Amino acid sequence: MVNSSQIPYFILTAYFDMGYLKYLYFVIVLMLYIVIVVANAFLIVTICMKRSLHEPMYVFLCSLLVNQLYGSAGLFPFLLLQITSDSHTISTSMCFLQIYCIYTYATVEFCNLAVMSYDRYLAICCPLHYEARLTSKKVALLIALVWLYSFIEFLIILCLNLRLKLCGNVMDRLYCQNYYVTKLACSDTTVNNIYGLFAMFLTVFVPLIPILFSYTKILRVCFNGSKETRQKAVSTCTPHIASLINFSFGCCFEVFQSRFNMSGIPGIMRIVLSLYFLTIQPLFNPIIYGLRLSKIRQMCRNVVVCNK
């Protein structure tokens, strides 16, 4: 048995021999990464530049977009390197850094979506009190809590993993995952497992409470309200609901793959599913918010026209 800090690297066995096709895959992944960076960065700049977009809804959206750039940075450069490499290894320090980056990205994303659902609840159900309840200070506090909560929660998991005694360094994955590091442990993982379940409970159910509360109230107002109220709810909530469903879908894929035997599914399909929530969500949100929110569309047009 050796301490995790004494293992120099981990071997990732999910990669297969791609031959000359690896250059095609490299170009595809690189183009996908460029599109994600450009799309998210463009919306962030648009929101920051236009004072008319300095409303809680768009500030929360900006936080969501920043998180997607952060999560993408934890995966794509590494993925591009692995595609062109013949030895699919990652140093121990980089492995734990990647775990921390990807898991905090997922937690921030879900918590941010929870805060955005509360914002929509106030805008639709309490429009007269919206500005009083969501002042700039409260918005900044909520965003700070979302990020600090996520970073502190998984810092504890990271510290618990570093003390584990490991019996191996082989993971059948495309990137490092906390669950697989724990599976390699020879030492007692009781504390890790208990805190892992506790952290999963916090990660899922704490954000789920405001989401369920907000949409229960919104649905009640829609059923009892005017046609104008229903139209407002549909136009502003559709991007959020679509983003929430897409992200939850991707996370469920990842959890099922980690916990259950998926050998019956073709290898290429398992690869796509394992990368879904890290690739499709950062690509999906700029598109869905850019298309559905008229204010964002108009401001994007103005930014493009001004730069010509």
Task: Show pLDDT as tens, one digit a residue, over the chain (308 residues).
Answer: 455 556 788 988 888 777 778 888 899 999 999 999 999 998 898 888 887 778 888 899 999 999 999 999 999 999 999 888 878 888 888 999 999 999 999 999 999 999 999 999 998 888 888 888 888 899 999 999 999 999 998 898 888 888 888 888 888 888 888 888 888 888 878 888 888 888 888 888 889 999 999 989 888 888 877 777 777 777 778 888 889 998 988 888 877 777 666 666 666 777 777 788 888 899 988 888 876 666 666 666 665 555 55
Could you tell me the residue ranges of all domains in the chain? 2-306
Question: Which strand ranges, in their side-by-side order, compose the sheet holding 89-91?
Answer: 89-91, 9-12, 170-171
Separation between Cα atoms, residue 178 and residue 226, nearest integer Å: 49
Contacts of 161 (CB under 8 A, 6+ apart): 4, 96, 99, 178, 181, 182, 192
Q: How many residues are there in the chain?
A: 308
Handedness of CA 213, 157, 92, 17 (dihedral sign): negative
pTM greater than 0.85 (yes/no): yes
Contact between 253 and 245 (Cβ < 8 Å): no
| Contacts within 8 Å (CB) and 24+ apart, 187-195 | 187/1, 189/164, 191/160, 192/157, 192/160, 192/161, 192/164, 195/156, 195/157, 195/160
CATH number of 2-306: 1.20.1070.10
Which residues are registered as beta bridge partners of 166?
2, 185
